[in-house]
Amino acid sequence: MKKYSALLLVALVFSAASYAQSFKFGPKLGANVGKIEGKGYSDSYTLGYHAGVFTEIGLGKKFGIQAEVLYNQINADTVSGFKAIYQNIDQQNFSDPQLNYLSIPLLLSYKPVKILTLQAGPQFGILIDKNRNMLQNGQDAFKKGDLSMLIGAQVNILRVRAYGRYAIGLSNISDISDQEKWTTTGFQLGVGFAF
């Protein structure tokens, strides 16, 4: 069922592109200030980064869709008693987690004025295992993934896109126990360039 949802999402983007009144694309780069919420994790935010490409599909003067593909890094700090809380973790190889995702945000855009775009929508994340190729990682998209909701604003000055977003995780990323829930949360700040 989830594979069909992904195919429907891709079909929706291509369908919207065929009716687009404007089409722009470009690279983007920015910082993530995030954390993992849940038992054993610190309340402090840590710094990561994201980089990738985006496309803007205009659907009239005010509305549009922005689709992106990003390499998204989320770092987290654990509390000092983490190893005592979760005793079934490999104690020797454990360190504060650094999660690397291939993230695919699909945002609905609204332009109240030409210089400002308000955005909201889902972000699908595929946890990337460095020991596997992209196809193998993609096969686990819905087993080792993270679904988030993004809301934010973007300032459009000529071809430059400066943006800020709040990301809240909707799915449980814990692989230790079904009883413990871990979710990601944080902010994305960055800049892009549209062609």
Sequence ranges of the domains in the chain = 2-193
Please state, as a whole number, how many other Cβ atoms lie within 10 Å of the Cβ of residue 160: 12
Cβ(160)–Cβ(191) under 8 Å? yes
Question: By C-alpha distance, which of 84, 102, 105, 106 is closest to 94?
Answer: 84
Cβ(187)–Cβ(164) under 8 Å? yes
pLDDT in tens, the chain (195 residues): 555 555 555 665 566 555 556 899 999 999 999 988 888 788 889 999 999 999 999 998 899 999 999 999 988 777 765 555 555 555 444 556 788 999 999 999 999 999 999 999 999 999 887 666 656 665 555 567 899 999 999 999 999 999 999 999 998 887 766 667 888 999 999 999 999
E strand intervals along 61-138: 63-75, 98-113, 116-127
Q: How far apart are CA 75 and CA 77, in angstroms?
A: 7
Strand 98-113 to strand 116-127: parallel, antiparallel, or no bridges (unpaired)?
antiparallel
What pLDDT does 52 receive?
98
Domain 2-193: which topology? Answer: Porin (2.40.160)
Tell me how far apart the 2 most distant CA atoms of the chain are, in Å.
57
What pLDDT does 192 receive?
98
What pLDDT does 121 receive?
97
Question: By C-alpha distance, which of 82, 116, 110, 109 is closest to 96?
Answer: 82
Q: How far apart are CA 122 and CA 124, in angstroms?
A: 7
What pLDDT does 36 receive?
87
What pLDDT does 22 receive?
85
